[in-house]
Structure 1
Amino acid sequence: MERMRTNMNEAFLQAMREETDPVADQVIEHLFTKGELKNVNGWLTSLSDNNEALPADLPEPVRQYFEQTSQLLEWADRKQMHKGAVFFSKHVQAILSVLGSLSLPYCYAAADGAQVLYLSQRIRKDTKKRLADTGQFVLNVLNPKAFDTKGTGIRSIQKVRLMHAAVRWHTLKSDQWNDVWGKPVNQEDMLGTNLAFSYIVLEGLHKLGIYYSSQEADAYLYLWNVIGYMLGMRKELLPENRKEAYWFSKLIEKRHFRKSEAGIELTKALMQSFEELTPSSAFKGLSGGYMRYLLGDKTADLLELPRKSLTNVLIKPISAVNTMLSLAGSLPWKNSSTYAVEAMLLAIEQENGKADFRMPVGLRE
């Protein structure tokens, strides 16, 4: 297998733990120091379409931010992005299932990166709301019309980027942050999250026995590269292909995957939300086992996921059937992994399809 580029090593990634997102950080610094957050937050709540006009009374740094980040990148290949979005639409239920039960706990396994989520309490206090926000963001940025004039992709990205900067600002101002963890929501952690939502999703689909072509996988990874860059990632951190994505993920796992109170508690909260949101009693009690199946025992043990479960017995034969059906062009999605899809969609429905991308006024919000 082809190795990753030589400059992507532990020394470089360690340096990236001290790098954040200056563009968004400057806006947040202005809003908090000038006391202008409240008025802007009210506007952010209603902001939706890419072509929506900016209010005349916006603070100048905020106006400049939204104007300068509102255009699709010059290097972005719209055709490749569209192919990635079509792939998402084709496998939307499976991908949502993998996002909830693999991508999120995968992020929690990175002990240092999980600290900012744990300290902010936004996920622990109202996990269902955060699950809905994550699902709605994914739907906003991955649908085929996300980057059209009347789409919602660009605005969603702009708001989430500011939200990350606000969390970073509050965390650094608190007395709870340990500098050993690097900066909150730093560049390396952004890379890990981007991989969790792109390459790791592809791995999860493969484990579920869902067939996809190399062209589809490359397009999906490319779309997330564009999204990651627009969220503030440095371009040199974006994997150029799936082989690089593989090596990047292994390097991050080697550097950061270990047992932590933050990871364990975040995973418990996620499992509890799935159980509470699962409409069908037939699927209740399967969340931990399903996560373990997707993550593998090594990572699942770090998060203290339950070992005794019938999920493996149920999922393995379903994966084999999925492979045959997907190759034949048909994939029914009513099985033991459907609970994660139903839970995420129900959470979104309960929030009326509106993600809360307001900037938090403190770590406890």
Structure 2
Amino acid sequence: MKKPERYKINTTSFSYYWSKGIGAKLLDKLPNKPNLADADQYIPLLYQYDEACDRLVEHLHLKIGFTKGQQLIRDYLQGKAIESIYDKLISDFMDTLAIEPQWLDWQKVQQGIALSQRSGLTGLIVLRDYCLMGGYESSAINKPLIFTGALKKGAVKRLTETVTFWVDITADQALRKGGIGFEAILLTRCIHSFARLNILKHGDWVTEKWGIPLNMWDMLATNLGFSLVYLIGLKQMKFNLLESEINGIMHLWKYIGSLLGIPLNLLPDTEEEAIKALYYWTMTQKEGDQDSIALAQALMEEPVHAAYPTNKFGRKLMREVHLYYNNYLLGNYSCNLLGLEKTTIGKIAYFNMLKNKKENSQILKDEVRQQQIRKGRKVHEGVKEIYLKYN
């Protein structure tokens, strides 16, 4: 299969990450360094997409409107009566889901959820300043954001949606059928299909350059961002992690990924498999471009344009704090490529890491860990409430 223009050996940010950054230590966990030539097997994934959900969206959302379509799915999941024609459409889609596959281990899922909750404010920082910002280093994966007007809508809106989604899916029992997280995943899957169909129908998308919008390989990369990269970020932030928590996160996101339509054979079971998958994806990414810089700049300025904190000084201080975390987590090389500034005032954020180191010193004690889980969950719910209230 022909390689799209986006597929090329990376010689900038990601190459630096694996040779001189944190990635070098990750590769040490593998018995052998992955052979980049083997990445060619994933090229077809750049043209593969979520056909099952696209069919649903084509005959539902595009016929009656996006808002009405999403509401009908909510009604269906909540057991409410809807018109038979729409009930059949949604039922046919639901039949494609493996809601409780044989490989699913609910105990592992809960361990992953528990770590997510225990991460508290630090987990949200890692997701924002490491996973999300670091993803902008690839020009291709972010092209759908540009085509759907993400810059015009603003980083505040996207961050609000991301935080709400993540907090909802990491609630206790959230992923059980009928749970808030299960619903959030299916609605998000429809958002992906709706975006893809509209980009292809109404935009100037060039498949030969970028592959299909929101293709399966990019979906896998996003999944790795929420699982492996998230774990890497927590470790950098002085978080001690139990082996059961690491395995739990991998299993949690394997299940979430399967519900989002990612083929099961692509989703890693272990940290080592995830490292290999991340290596193949990152090292075949075209470097960031002006759109990458524009998205990074928008996220950098997001605290200033947000409505919380309510005073101007507080918002400017938040900008500096996030800049510190950007530089600390991503490193100078990546921050320079994305046009992210250095900060002096923001260095006060380092005290959070010292706090993490102290609080994580006793996580082997179950009562201490449970207390952190309860405390962290309250923080997540509070942050979600702030985003929804003020933005």
Shorter-chain TM range is 0.7 to 0.9
Equivalent residues in 2 for 1:313-324 (5 A)? 313-316=347-350, 318-324=352-358
Q: CA deviation at 1:194?
A: 0.5
Tell me the residue number matched to 1:347: 387
CA deviation map 1:152-203 (0-9, x unaligned): 1211111111110111111111342122110000011001111111111111
SS at match of 1:140: helix
Q: Choose from 225, 230, 243 the match for 1:201.
A: 230
SS at match of 1:111: coil
Tell me the residue number matched to 1:283: 318
| More displaced stretch, 265-274 vs 341-350 | 341-350
Question: Which AA in structure 1 matches 2:280?
Answer: L
Q: CA deviation at 1:263?
A: 1.3
Tell me the residue number matched to 2:136: 108
Q: CA deviation at 1:147?
A: 2.2
Equivalent residues in 2 for 1:1-365 (5 A)? 1-2=29-30, 3=32, 9-31=38-60, 35-37=63-65, 40-41=68-69, 43-44=71-72, 47=74, 51-53=78-80, 55-59=82-86, 60-66=88-94, 68-69=96-97, 71-122=99-150, 124-179=152-207, 180-256=209-285, 258-277=287-306, 278-279=308-309, 280-281=314-315, 282-306=317-341, 308-310=342-344, 313-316=347-350, 318-329=352-363, 346-350=386-390
Aligned counterparts of 1:247 and 1:145: Cα–Cα separation in 2: 31
SS at match of 1:9: helix
Tell me the residue number matched to 2:23: none
Aligned counterparts of 2:178 and 2:82: Cα–Cα separation in 1: 18
Asked if the contact 2:126–2:233 (Cα under 8 Å) also holds between the matched residues in 1, the reply is yes
Asked if the contact 2:54–2:193 (Cα under 8 Å) also holds between the matched residues in 1, the reply is yes
- Counterparts in 2 of 1:321 and 1:126: CA distance versus 1, 3 Å: closer
Aligned counterparts of 2:95 and 2:81: Cα–Cα separation in 1: 9
Aligned counterparts of 2:179 and 2:236: Cα–Cα separation in 1: 32
Aligned counterparts of 2:299 and 2:72: Cα–Cα separation in 1: 27
- Counterparts in 2 of 1:27 and 1:322: CA distance versus 1, 3 Å: same
SS at match of 1:25: helix
SS at match of 1:197: helix
Asked if the contact 1:84–1:222 (Cα under 8 Å) also holds between the matched residues in 2, the reply is yes
Q: State, as a whole percentage, how many aligned pairs show the same letter.
A: 22
- What TM-score do the two structures reach when normalised by structure 2? 0.78
Aligned counterparts of 1:65 and 1:210: Cα–Cα separation in 2: 40
CA deviation map 1:340-363 (0-9, x unaligned): 998765223336xxxxxxxxxxxx
Question: Which AA in structure 2 matches 1:227?
Answer: I
Gap runs ≥5 in structure 2: 1-28, 373-378
Asked if the contact 1:141–1:147 (Cα under 8 Å) also holds between the matched residues in 2, the reply is yes
Asked if the contact 1:111–1:263 (Cα under 8 Å) also holds between the matched residues in 2, the reply is yes
Question: Which AA in structure 2 matches 1:205?
Answer: L
Tell me the residue number matched to 2:14: none
Following TM superposition, where does structure 1 have runs of at least 4 consecutive aligned residues deviating by more than 4 angstroms?
3-8, 48-51, 315-318, 329-332, 339-345
Question: Which AA in structure 1 matches 2:343?
Answer: S
Aligned counterparts of 2:217 and 2:172: Cα–Cα separation in 1: 28
Aligned counterparts of 1:221 and 1:22: Cα–Cα separation in 2: 25
Q: Counting helix residues as a fraction of each chain, which structure ranks higher?
A: 2
Q: CA deviation at 1:210?
A: 1.2
Aligned counterparts of 1:127 and 1:49: Cα–Cα separation in 2: 31
Aligned counterparts of 2:122 and 2:385: Cα–Cα separation in 1: 12
Q: CA deviation at 1:276?
A: 3.0
Aligned counterparts of 1:350 and 1:57: Cα–Cα separation in 2: 39
CA deviation map 1:262-301 (0-9, x unaligned): 2111112222222333523543433233212212223223
Gap runs ≥5 in structure 1: 333-338, 352-365
Asked if the contact 1:51–1:149 (Cα under 8 Å) also holds between the matched residues in 2, the reply is no
- Counterparts in 2 of 1:64 and 1:91: CA distance versus 1, 3 Å: same
Q: CA deviation at 1:4?
A: 8.1
Question: Which AA in structure 1 matches 2:80?
Answer: A
Asked if the contact 1:50–1:154 (Cα under 8 Å) also holds between the matched residues in 2, the reply is no
